[in-house]
Structure 1
Amino acid sequence: MKIGIDARFIGPQGTGIGKYTQKLIENLQNIDRKNKYSIFLKQSNWQLLKLKNKNFNKVLADIKWYSLEEQIKMPYIYKKQNLDLLHIPHFNVPLLFNDKYIVTIHDLIHRHFSQESVTTRNKFVFKAKRFAYKLTISSALKKSQKIITPSNYVKQEIIDSYKIDKSKIVVTYEAAEEEYSQNSKSKIRNPKFVKKFFVRKPFLIYVGNAYPHKNLHNLITAVEILNLKQNLKINLAIVCSRDIFWQRLKQSIEKSKIKKQIILTGYIKAKDLSILFSEAKAYVFPSLSEGFGIPGLNAMAAGLPVICSNIPTLKEVYANAACYFNPNDSE
């Protein structure tokens, strides 16, 4: 069988869909020596993925995702490989692609948070993009052979929102990354290491992005209350990539009464983050919506207590292993 995997989301900072795809390919190489795989990559991430088996080969597909070019050119690039099945690990399946494929839907956050505040584009472009996304995901769900979701919550959302037969959806839970395991050789307790990122102890830590649905403004308010009203003297480290949402958050922090106790570190590699976890008091996850919640799982693997939103997904995934709070109430 000849299988294709669209791996264009793999990136140097190894987050989200890219990390999911990279781990999928790495582990498939460990268990499958029979089927042949074509891995579609961009020029920018060609060297980031190492293929060790002869039944895996790279295919250049230097096409930007979510683009008109993707809609027009990717069907041809896929078809050229004569695949029996294609796996696209996101909803961006070209509308004109009609061969057999499966799709992974990580969440339906775009349905809940589609305001203009979640984009960097102008109003007209944003509305056009939103319409295109709705059309694309609806088509992807209806035409796919199977749909993979990371949780039962996302599965039920798809069933309710798109009237998809439940037998078509397969729930595959994700796992914490091995770099965060308490048994990892890379994990070394080192209090001085924390100073490298200008983080002061004691501190809480958040890892993720700064999108509005991550609810970081409420988290900052909660930490202000802990310091100013409860007199706990706790710091907060926010680990996220530097983008427009990071800039907006930074501007908001500048207005905080405890701005010196809140550190925006930027992106940190898993190896270093594991050590930072070992020095933190707890991992805080105030998100309003998630498809799964890998960051909290990584924190648990590192032995760090997790305090998170009481949203359905996180309660499904973390069960009794976390402490929960109402994400809409900063008190």
Structure 2
Amino acid sequence: MSSLQHVLILTREYYHPKLQRVGGTGVFNSVLAKELVKNGIKVSVFAVNKNTVSFDDQGVEVYSIKGIFERNFLLEFLRSVTGKIGFLKPLHFKIYEHEKKAIQKQLNNWIRTNNYKINLIETHDFEGMALCIDERIPYVIRCHGSWTVLEKYFNYKNVSQGRTHCEKLAFEKSRNNIVISNFSKRINERFFNIKNARLIYNGIDTDFFKPNATNSILAKSIFYLGNVSSEKGAELAIGSFLKVKKSFPESTLHFIGKVNLSDLYIQENIMKNNIQESVFFYGEKKKEEIVELISRAEIVYFPSKGENFSLSLLEVMAMGKPVICSDIDSFREIIVNNENGLIASGVSEFYMHTKKLFNDSELRTRLSENARETVVKQFDLKKMIQATISYYKEII
């Protein structure tokens, strides 16, 4: 067995101001890389992004290349056109496979130029990035949420078939896979027939995400953390709030996250019901700003239609906030109804639970304390990192 000295993270997403905006996977990779460094492991990140840049990020070496579709207009045009014409699908697939081979060539050259001895590579499931890895290097796929799952289980539209094709090929080759929840395990076994995946729950820094007694609670406030979109349940949040507003005229609704301008339902209903002065949009925020805002919330909504596993939910629970979540498998894996949070199906139940929480301070306190305890015991960052390192060592 080799010693674990140098880990490489191959990714489309890495959270840093010098790179493009990312989702949860990019934030996860940033945290994972820095925690591995703290454990004495050298970490390099090879990112396929929209710009070419290299920098040090608190001991993590980050090297980003511009993707082949961003560099080659003709190839991007062919990729787009072939994805829309049925009989050109084989060519569409070949273009995506060509992209992965091009990335592999650049990655191998970079490793060779720097004379690196990489012990293990971690990558994500979406887009089949594992196809870029030389199979002589041990690697693991962590299942953050593939395009295949988004399309087939969560009914996302207009998903590129080239992306899902590469995901299928990548999982056919992969021997080492990490799933981040039991729901993730079931769904990936169903769509990719993966075997013997290791369950490692995502973890958060419970020393950073913690209750803040210095900030005063904004009475009768409902906060929402996540992209403001139909998929994340923004319409449901507005629908519930319209009912809440009738019972509690002083109540307010606060959205933290990127606003999807194509979802006209939200703005139309705000204007139609004349509640502009009671609904606030803060946009995307840094984690320090999120902590400051959420610390003022009386309750927090998570009305998403589908999640693989929600770090945002864990962060809010760690801050000791009562949460109301939609009735989906991944939330039920975390929330025990009426013990550490509330589960709701549809607008009416979100409203009824909100009314109950606003009227019952003892219930709010009990749910808040249990929420924090759940995250500290089961989803702490240190536990996740140690489980990850142990699995890495098994693989190499």
Corresponding position: 1:5 with 2:9: yes
Corresponding position: 1:280 with 2:286: no
For residues 98 and 162 of structure 1, the distance between their equivalents in structure 2, rounded to whole angstroms, comes to: 21
What letter corresponds to residue 150 of structure 1 in structure 2? I
Give 1:37 deviation, angstroms.
Answer: 3.5
Moved more, 103-112 or 277-286: 103-112
For residues 75 and 303 of structure 1, the distance between their equivalents in structure 2, rounded to whole angstroms, comes to: 44
Moved more, 279-288 or 10-19: 10-19
Corresponding position: 1:112 with 2:153: yes
User: What is the aligned-residue identity percentage?
Assistant: 19
- Pick one of 35, 38, 43 that aligns with 2:44: 38
Q: Is the CA contact 1:150–1:292 (under 8 Å) kept in the aligned structure 2?
A: yes
Distance 1:216 1:57, change over 3 A: closer
What does residue 123 of structure 1 align with?
Answer: none
Give 1:323 deviation, angstroms.
Answer: 1.1
TM norm structure 1: 0.78
What letter corresponds to residue 3 of structure 1 in structure 2? V
- Pick one of 61, 66, 71 that aligns with 2:65: 61
Q: Deviations over 1:11-35 (max 9, x none)?
A: 34664111000010011011134xx
What does residue 245 of structure 2 align with?
Answer: 227
For residues 147 and 328 of structure 1, the distance between their equivalents in structure 2, rounded to whole angstroms, comes to: 37
What letter corresponds to residue 76 of structure 1 in structure 2? K
Q: How does 1:308-319 map to 2 (within 5 A)?
A: 308-319=325-336
What does residue 26 of structure 1 align with?
Answer: 34
Q: Deviations over 1:267-312 (max 9, x none)?
A: 1222222122222111110111111111121111112111111211
Corresponding position: 1:148 with 2:178: yes
SS in 1 for 2:309: coil
Q: How does 1:1-331 map to 2 (within 5 A)?
A: 2-11=6-15, 12=17, 15-33=23-41, 36-41=42-47, 42=49, 50-52=57-59, 57-63=61-67, 70-80=99-109, 81=111, 83-94=118-129, 95=131, 97=133, 99=135, 100-107=138-145, 108-116=149-157, 126=158, 129-165=159-195, 167=196, 169-177=197-205, 178-182=207-211, 187=212, 189-191=214-216, 201-228=219-246, 230-231=247-248, 233-245=250-262, 249-251=266-268, 253-319=270-336, 320-327=339-346
Give 1:111 deviation, angstroms.
Answer: 2.3
Distance 1:240 1:58, change over 3 A: closer
SS in 1 for 2:103: helix
Rg: which structure is higher?
2
Runs of 5+ unmatched residues, structure 1: 117-125, 195-199
Distance 1:215 1:152, change over 3 A: same
Runs of 5+ unmatched residues, structure 2: 71-75, 77-95, 113-117, 352-396
For residues 69 and 312 of structure 2, the distance between their equivalents in structure 1, rounded to whole angstroms, comes to: 24
For residues 316 and 301 of structure 1, the distance between their equivalents in structure 2, rounded to whole angstroms, comes to: 16
SS in 1 for 2:128: coil
SS in 1 for 2:293: helix
What does residue 120 of structure 1 align with?
Answer: none
What letter corresponds to residue 222 of structure 1 in structure 2? S
For residues 38 and 269 of structure 1, the distance between their equivalents in structure 2, rounded to whole angstroms, comes to: 24
CA RMSD of aligned residues (A): 3.1
For residues 259 and 56 of structure 2, the distance between their equivalents in structure 1, rounded to whole angstroms, comes to: 23
Q: Is the CA contact 2:50–2:67 (under 8 Å) kept in the aligned structure 1?
A: no
For residues 283 and 49 of structure 1, the distance between their equivalents in structure 2, rounded to whole angstroms, comes to: 36
Give 1:233 deviation, angstroms.
Answer: 3.4
Q: Deviations over 1:185-226 (max 9, x none)?
A: xx57345xx9xxxxx753110111123221110111111011
Q: Is the CA contact 2:178–2:200 (under 8 Å) kept in the aligned structure 1?
A: yes
Distance 1:65 1:149, change over 3 A: farther
SS in 1 for 2:121: strand
Q: Is the CA contact 1:61–1:74 (under 8 Å) kept in the aligned structure 2?
A: no
Q: Aligned residues, how many?
A: 301
More helix by percentage: 2
